[in-house]
Structure 1
Amino acid sequence: MDPDLAVEHAAQLFKVLGSTSRLRLMREIRRDPATVSALVEATGMSQPLVSQHLRMLREAELVKAVRHGREMYYEVADSHVVHLIEDALEHVAEDGAGDAVG
C-alpha cells in the first residue's frame, strides 16, 4: 500500500475510534460477542445510540455481526484493533500519562 494512503487509512481508523462510546463498545465485545441489548445493559447507552455506533464500527470493518438463531451478535472483526485499544488504555493508565491527554 502507498505510504500516503496508509496514513489516510490510519487517520480514518483513529477518527472512528475517537469516540468514547465506540471505544466502550469495542472493549465490551473484545473477548465475547454480544447482542445490542447486552451492550445497552453493559454500557448504559440507549438502544438507538448503541445501534448507531455499531453501524459506524461495521462500516469501518472493525466489528462484524453474526447471527446465532434469532439473535445478532456483534464481535470484533480485527484483533489488531483490539491490541491498539488495549495499548492506548494501558498508556493512559500509566502514572501521569493521562495528564498530557487534552
Structure 2
Amino acid sequence: MVEDEVYERTAELFATLASPRRLALVERLAQAPAAVGELAEDLGVPQPLVSQHLRVLRQARLVRGRRDGRTVTYEVVDEHVAHVVADALEHEREHDARPQEHDPDGG
C-alpha cells in the first residue's frame, strides 16, 4: 500500500534525525549556509565528526554541499525538515521552561 511506503520513508527520516549532533546541524544550517570548519566551531565538535554527520544528512538528501575551490558550503535542502526540527526543538525548550508538575501517582 502507498501509505505504508510513506510511513516507512518518514520513519527513515526520523531515524536520520535521531542524533543530537544532526539536529544541531540542521538547526544551524537552517539559519545560514556554512562550511565544515565554521560548523565545527559553532557546535564545538571536531571537524571529522561534523563531516560524518553531514555525510548522513547528505545521503538522506536533507542537506547539500556546494564547492567553491577547496571550501564546501552546506545548506539545508528541505525546508519542511528544517521546520520539523525547529518545532521539535522549540517544544522541548518550552517543556524545559515549564514548572514540573507533581504526579500524585509517582510516575
For normalisation by structure 2, the TM-score amounts to 0.84
Answer yes or no: is the 8 Å Cα contact 1:91–1:97 preserved in 2.
no
Cα distance between partner residues in 2 of 1:21 and 1:96: 19
1:73 aligns with 2:73: yes
Residue 84 and residue 71 in structure 1: after superposition, are their counterparts in 2 closer, same or farther (change >3 A)? same
Q: RMSD of the TM alignment (CA)? A: 2.0
- Aligned residue pairs total 99
Cα distance between partner residues in 1 of 2:54 and 2:43: 13
> What do the CA deviations read for 1:69-95 (whole angstroms, capped 9, x no partner)?
432100001000011011111211224
1:42 aligns with 2:42: yes
Residue number in structure 2 paired with 1:92: 92
Bigger drift between 54-63 and 86-95 goes to 86-95
- Larger CA Rg, structure 1 vs 2: 2
Residue number in structure 2 paired with 1:15: 15
Residue number in structure 2 paired with 1:25: 25
**Structure 2 spans left out of the alignment, 5+ residues:** 101-107
Answer yes or no: is the 8 Å Cα contact 1:65–1:72 preserved in 2.
yes
Percent identical pairs in the alignment equals: 48
Cα distance between partner residues in 1 of 2:69 and 2:30: 21
Bigger drift between 6-15 and 90-99 goes to 90-99
**Structure 1 spans left out of the alignment, 5+ residues:** none
Cα distance between partner residues in 2 of 1:39 and 1:74: 9
